[in-house]
Structure 1
Amino acid sequence: MKSRHKKTRFFGLAACSFTIGAVATPVYANTLEEVVVLAKRRETNLQETVGAITAFSNDALQQLGIVRLADLGTSVPNVSVGEPQFSGTEVISMRGIAGQSGGIGQDDPVAVYLDGVYLGRPQSQQFAMVDIERIEVLKGPQGTLYGRNATAGAINIVTRRPQQTVSGILEATIGNYDTTRVNGSIEGGLSDSVSGRASLYYQDFGGDLKNTFTGTDERYEEDWYSRVVLEYASQDDRHVVTLALDAGDTTIGTGLKNITVDGNRYIEVDDIALDLEGTELTRDTAGVALTYQGELSDQWRFQSITAYRDLDLDVIYDSDGTNVDAYLAAIPEFVPASIAIIRDTGSYQGISSEQYSQEFQLTYSSGNVDWIFGLFGYREEARHLLTIELLTNSDSPILSTDTDTENTAVSYAAYSHLTYAFGDRYELSAGLRYSYEEKSMERQVFSGGMQTNEDLTDSWDDPTGELSLSMDITDGVMGYVSYSQGFKSGGFSSLSRNTPSFAPEYVNSFEAGLKSDLLDNRLRLNVAAFTMDYEDLQVRFPGDVGQLIIQNAAQASIDGIEIDATALLTENLSLVANFGYLDATYDDYSYEGVDYSGNRLNQAPEYSMFAALDYERDIASLGTVRAFVSYSWQEEEFFRPENDPLNGNKGFEKLDARLGLSPRAMPGFTFELWAQNLTDDRYVGAVVPLVADQLYYASINRPRTYGLRMVYSF
């Protein structure tokens, strides 16, 4: 198939991306630009690529105020991202398939990749979005090309490659809640064949919750992140070697609130009342990746990706989520007298992880054939510590739970994917992957006055495949049908004892879609409809204090529709809009005599939508003015199978806006006013049940924020 688009300035989000050629240089367009993605592990035109894909350019990330992965949740149809839980995890749900924050023995169903490197621990995915070229969100099972734990989908983070020309950018942001953010990048040639790029990011957020017990601000955040990339390219550009190093350091004031003491309601949304000092989370991440890309001939290419990632996380939190007086006052009306001992509880969690990965890819492209063959190897060594202390502020604290778990995960896979174009209109693609997973866990648990020591080992293997057929219906219009499978590894619960391994999850997905560029490439309209069978769900059950049980306990069906539209309304004004519908329910799920069949899956709102307008105009006497406004809305969602209002949120809306000026008298500068959550809509983004569902803790979204941003590029 041949490309159908000109490369010009473009705006869009669900079906493409929006950007400008340079920060202070306006470029106007009469047609939408071709968007190139790596969804098939090779560069393809988004409009000619089978599957529902959302791509964000760097400019889109800036305009939407996306500084971390979790911020994507309000901009993509049928994607939900929760607020931070005790270990700092922000659970990602895609098309109704959600992670569960189940400890180091369980994996997430959304695979996240940084420049082709799989990021295993969800806590290691939470770094600053610095030097990003684009982010691709691939929805639906990616069982062949992305394989490991991509039952819901995959997220590709693609960073900028260094260039020979010396250039750089410096950004500074100030805002309410004592917000300060500074980041910069510089790149250039170190020799005729070697170029480099260095980036540094710093953020300080003063905290948006007031601790009424101590008078201090909570949920503050301080982030450091740095990245250095060196790249060697042969004179003929047939051989490229890239070395990338990154490191991050984060400190966050914890902010989960006990809502049971307030009658299981989240009241006084900006207040919290904790009586334990030193409650904060620290997270250190680091990584190195060595990538080789070589053109063996005009048709054959080879790629190797070798990587190491490291994570260290420590968090101390007030486990009762309130203060002693408030806790005792809630007995017995809201809190059972039998758990009065929980009134003054402190906890510590530590999670460390070292992962090693190696991937080889061999690709062939000639005429009407594109083929890729790959080998993947992965090893993670992780440790999870949990200590819970009762009456922690007293002279005689009581050790309630002490868990020390070490888990080693090993994964191997081989995969192949073939695309064959026949005639001028049709493409047939088929893929197959074989995956082998093995996990070994040493689990030491002290709870209820009893000590247990266990050595556990189990393994699983599974072939997954995909098949698709696409057709060029007419010029600028492509239709497709596809079938794909997903496989998510089994494992062990790292926070329970005397529990066996749980089995893998499986997803079978059928999808039909239409991708179109209409009205002389001024309107892009993409539609996808899908149905999925979701088998052997790994369900999390709350146990005693500090205990978390995971079992395969459910079957589910998921149906949905996604509509993405991007339009150039005028030379200066662009519109993007998307809509998601999701019917994601349990077919068969019972627990302790209660039947949850027919209830909605976790973080699976029935309706969601997003819309944005981008206006840019060059005023001769002033410079370039840009105005951007976006609105997102989501219906209610639930965090537990009970589907009760306590374990969910009522839905939300979010209105953001930016107004920028690139003065003609100051080349390279842009000044911008910004605001997020203008309507100050507050909602619960995570609910954590403890003590066998007798206490509930909640995390709320951030309030209205606003400020000023300055950018200088050269």
Structure 2
Amino acid sequence: MKNKRRMRCEHFLFALTLLPLTQVPALAQDQADTEAVEDMVVTASRTEERAIDVPITTEVITRDQIEMSGVNDIGDLIGKYVTGHYHKYSGILSPVGLRGFKTDSHGSDLNGYVLLLIDGHRVGTGNAAKLNLDRIEKVEVIKGPSSALYGSAAMGGVINLITKKGDGELGGSIGGEIGSFDYYRGQASMGGEVNDKIRFFASVSGETMDDYDTVDYGTAYNTGVDKINVGGNVVYTLNDAHAFRLGGNYSDLTSESPDWAGDTYSYYDSTTEQDNDKSTGYTDLEYNGDYLNGVLHWKAVFYYLWDKNQWNTGTIDPESNQTKYIDQTLGTDHQFTWKINDWNTLLAGFTLDSLEKESSSVVNYQPSMPYTPGLDYDNQAVFLQDSLDLLDNRLNILAAVRYDRFDVTTKEAETGTYENFNERSEDYSHVSPKIGVGMKFLDEMLRVRANMGEGFKSPTASQLSADYYHSSTGMHYLGNPDLDPETSMTYDVGFDVYLEGLTFKADYFTTDYEDKIVDETYDDNGVSTTTYVNHGDATISGFEFSLEWAFSETFNLPFAGSFWSNMSFNTEKEDELTGEDILNVSDYEIKSGLTMGYAGFQGQLSHSLVGPQMIKNWDTYLTEEKDSFDYWDLTLRYRFMEVWEVKASILNIFDQDYEWVMGYPMAERNYRIGLTYNF
């Protein structure tokens, strides 16, 4: 009976998704506005430039693509549009990856190999599921090492979230959405120019969903989520030369935690009540000033980041057993851009970061030792970049280098008593270079480019300076102060073709990954001891292609229509230590879509295909191949009476059984429909 009721509900929602089609006018009117990929980018060079003038390929996800994606967080957005890697668990946990590297599996900002930024500075987490899309104007994705400008963790690349600043007339929106699995969402936003000096954008949203059903397994128990997001920006323009921006966001994020019956990895236990709190937030103050008649520009950012990960795992009372980690970061980033002449721009700057991790645990209502102790992490960095635009801007050269110094300390946790805890501090430094060259031909219809750069990841405090005995594991953890950072050297070449209505990009890259840090356990006078060593290299190579074709422009059609496809093929991904494939790196990924618009109607059909990859099976602790999978989504939007908008999505249209991570099957076919009033 429950399934029949659910089917009737889904059929009703499906009928509602078709309702806008019945209201499309029969005669052609003005084409629907479909937002093209923005020509200006900022992440690759830290300054706003035309994309074609920066010899580093930047993939841009526009606001229109965000709205037509049918998803609400950065993780699902990356999974839909960007090839590289997506690792989606049930609940609120989604590491994302680029070119064989990914953010930390548990969301730690410091432990990842891909860097998440917001408006150019660290966002404070590696968990992309924590970052909602209400305030995001566009997303810029840089594939390949970016440590020369952004430091540690930027080995695979950088994903920069650029927020709305309130451009244009004052206005706002309020709307709601319902969907399968008791999904409800409410949202309100407002922004625009108050006067010639003040503009702002603010938004608030709430979202909830119950346990979802899968195609073959049934109900995935303990997968419900509750989210509240509030944030915004206020920009004050003092005059033509000086402006300030105050921004921030807070996300109250709670979800249930799936558990497995009898410790079997792939079977959900409906009787075990678990939940977690993964709230996160930040605030930042940015200054932009022009000096010497615009020859010199100073950008300064001050930021505070806060990130919480708390797991309540008691069988009867979830709070009886819990583990909590809170990261707090104070930082500032300054860059000075000197336009020496029309063809030479010099950028110099520095970054200061100070992070403190607090860790605590409760076992049977009593304070206990968490698995990971606390830490202090201080980073001081200086960077320099020279940008040359030669031969009437046909030849573009970008060279950068960064020096980082780190001071790390392993600290006792807030709870529990460690045996023989030795609080140690270690420091080290690293230099990261990068150079890129681009050449334009045929009146900028063709560009050829090449890049070479190094990425690195800092060792963690535990890997460098731990020295304590953990009674619950019976293990002595001993850091290695002689560790080198993990590094990667990447070489890539490519070309871009720009024709009327069509853009095609092709890349070949190869990465030498060196000094991988692994743990080693040995017996020290009867005490099991774990330490860390640089041991093992890897090679990752492949091709990447991108196609965007506005075919309605090519054929002068009376409606808007475009096709896009992003593809990656990893031809080599060998771990030289084991001689086997690197785990969690697919052989190929193809993510494509078709967008159509006519009058007030717009629709997008998207398809994601992820190839096979080697994984660790946590049932057997053996390495095995995970099969390829694919799924389709459809989003429809209709705007009417100038102020109303109805939007509907069918996710997993063909009811395909798939999972990004083994043991975490994704939802069956499901529906969402919403109504928004714009004012």
Distance apart, 1:661 and its partner CA: 2.0
Q: Partners in 2 of 1:30 and 1:174 — Cα distance?
A: 25
Q: Which residue in the other structure is 2:492 paired with?
A: 511
Q: Which residue in the other structure is 1:370 paired with?
A: 345
Q: Which residue in the other structure is 2:12 paired with?
A: none
* Alpha-carbon distance change, 705 to 460 in structure 1, aligned in 2, over 3 angstroms: farther
Do 1:171 and 1:183's aligned partners in 2 also have CA atoms closer than 8 Å?
yes
Q: Which residue in the other structure is 1:180 paired with?
A: 184
Q: Within 5 Å, give how 1:284-295 maps onto structure 2.
A: 284-295=279-290
Distance apart, 1:636 and its partner CA: 1.7
Q: Is the aligned partner of 1:308 residue 2:276? A: no
Deviations 1:334-381 (A, max 9, x none): xxxxxxxxxx99952211011011011100233111221111110100
Q: Within 5 Å, give how 1:235-246 maps onto structure 2.
A: 235=239, 237-246=240-249
Distance apart, 1:97 and its partner CA: 1.5
Q: Is the aligned partner of 1:522 residue 2:486? A: no
Q: Is the aligned partner of 1:466 residue 2:445? A: no
Give the letter for the 2:88 counterpart. E
Give the letter for the 1:704 counterpart. R
* Alpha-carbon distance change, 402 to 224 in structure 1, aligned in 2, over 3 angstroms: closer
Q: Is the aligned partner of 1:453 residue 2:421? A: yes
Q: Is the aligned partner of 1:64 residue 2:49? A: no
Q: Which residue in the other structure is 1:353 paired with?
A: 327
Deviations 1:606-656 (A, max 9, x none): 1110110011112xxxxx222210001001223449998866632221200
Aligned with 2:551 (options 562, 569, 583): 569
Distance apart, 1:145 and its partner CA: 1.6
Distance apart, 1:100 and its partner CA: 4.3
Deviates further, 309-318 or 548-557 = 548-557
Give the letter for the 1:607 counterpart. Y
* Alpha-carbon distance change, 406 to 548 in structure 1, aligned in 2, over 3 angstroms: same
Do 2:514 and 2:537's aligned partners in 1 also have CA atoms closer than 8 Å?
yes
Q: Is the aligned partner of 1:48 residue 2:53? A: yes
Do 1:229 and 1:243's aligned partners in 2 also have CA atoms closer than 8 Å?
yes
Do 1:503 and 1:536's aligned partners in 2 also have CA atoms closer than 8 Å?
yes
Q: Which residue in the other structure is 2:86 paired with?
A: 81
Q: Within 5 Å, give how 1:674-713 maps onto structure 2.
A: 674-686=649-661, 698-713=663-678
* Alpha-carbon distance change, 34 to 63 in structure 1, aligned in 2, over 3 angstroms: closer
* Alpha-carbon distance change, 603 to 558 in structure 1, aligned in 2, over 3 angstroms: same
Q: Is the aligned partner of 1:431 residue 2:404? A: no
The RMSD of aligned alpha carbons is: 3.5
Give the letter for the 1:577 counterpart. S
Deviations 1:533-561 (A, max 9, x none): 001123468999xx997653320001011
Q: Partners in 2 of 1:485 and 1:709 — Cα distance?
A: 46
Q: Partners in 1 of 2:337 and 2:540 — Cα distance?
A: 34
Do 1:443 and 1:497's aligned partners in 2 also have CA atoms closer than 8 Å?
no
Q: Partners in 2 of 1:555 and 1:57 — Cα distance?
A: 37
Do 2:109 and 2:124's aligned partners in 1 also have CA atoms closer than 8 Å?
no
Q: Partners in 1 of 2:404 and 2:138 — Cα distance?
A: 28
Do 1:179 and 1:204's aligned partners in 2 also have CA atoms closer than 8 Å?
yes
Q: Which residue in the other structure is 1:332 paired with?
A: none
TM-score (norm 1): 0.79
Give the letter for the 2:399 counterpart. A
1:466 partner SS: strand
Distance apart, 1:684 and its partner CA: 3.8
Do 1:142 and 1:150's aligned partners in 2 also have CA atoms closer than 8 Å?
yes
Q: Is the aligned partner of 1:557 residue 2:539? A: yes
Give the letter for the 2:345 counterpart. D
Distance apart, 1:124 and its partner CA: 8.2
Q: Partners in 2 of 1:318 and 1:654 — Cα distance?
A: 36
Q: Which residue in the other structure is 2:479 paired with?
A: 500
Fraction of identical pairs, as percent: 17
- Count of aligned pairs between the two proteins: 618
Distance apart, 1:479 and its partner CA: 0.6
Q: Which residue in the other structure is 1:485 paired with?
A: 454
Distance apart, 1:101 and its partner CA: 3.4
* Alpha-carbon distance change, 251 to 125 in structure 1, aligned in 2, over 3 angstroms: closer
Q: Partners in 1 of 2:88 and 2:220 — Cα distance?
A: 21
Q: Partners in 1 of 2:516 and 2:547 — Cα distance?
A: 33
1:234 partner SS: strand
Distance apart, 1:216 and its partner CA: 10
Q: Partners in 1 of 2:424 and 2:571 — Cα distance?
A: 37
Q: Partners in 2 of 1:415 and 1:452 — Cα distance?
A: 40
Q: Partners in 2 of 1:306 and 1:124 — Cα distance?
A: 22
Q: Which residue in the other structure is 1:582 paired with?
A: 570
Do 1:78 and 1:96's aligned partners in 2 also have CA atoms closer than 8 Å?
no
Distance apart, 1:444 and its partner CA: 6.0
Do 1:103 and 1:384's aligned partners in 2 also have CA atoms closer than 8 Å?
no
Q: Is the aligned partner of 1:92 residue 2:99? A: no
Do 2:221 and 2:269's aligned partners in 1 also have CA atoms closer than 8 Å?
no
Do 1:315 and 1:349's aligned partners in 2 also have CA atoms closer than 8 Å?
yes
Do 1:649 and 1:683's aligned partners in 2 also have CA atoms closer than 8 Å?
no
1:686 partner SS: coil
Q: Partners in 2 of 1:275 and 1:480 — Cα distance?
A: 57
Deviates further, 293-302 or 398-407 = 398-407
Distance apart, 1:254 and its partner CA: 0.8
Q: Partners in 2 of 1:384 and 1:124 — Cα distance?
A: 22
Q: Is the aligned partner of 1:257 residue 2:260? A: yes
Q: Within 5 Å, give how 1:267-306 maps onto structure 2.
A: 272-277=268-273, 279-296=274-291, 297-306=293-302
Q: Which runs of 5+ in 2 are unaligned?
A: 1-28, 524-528
Do 1:78 and 1:581's aligned partners in 2 also have CA atoms closer than 8 Å?
no
Aligned with 2:212 (options 198, 208, 215): 208
1:498 partner SS: strand
Deviations 1:680-705 (A, max 9, x none): 33334336xxxxxxxxxx33333322
Deviations 1:269-292 (A, max 9, x none): xxx224433x10112222210000
Q: Which residue in the other structure is 1:652 paired with?
A: 629
Deviates further, 122-131 or 480-489 = 122-131
TM-score (norm 2): 0.83
* Alpha-carbon distance change, 587 to 310 in structure 1, aligned in 2, over 3 angstroms: closer
2:664 partner SS: strand
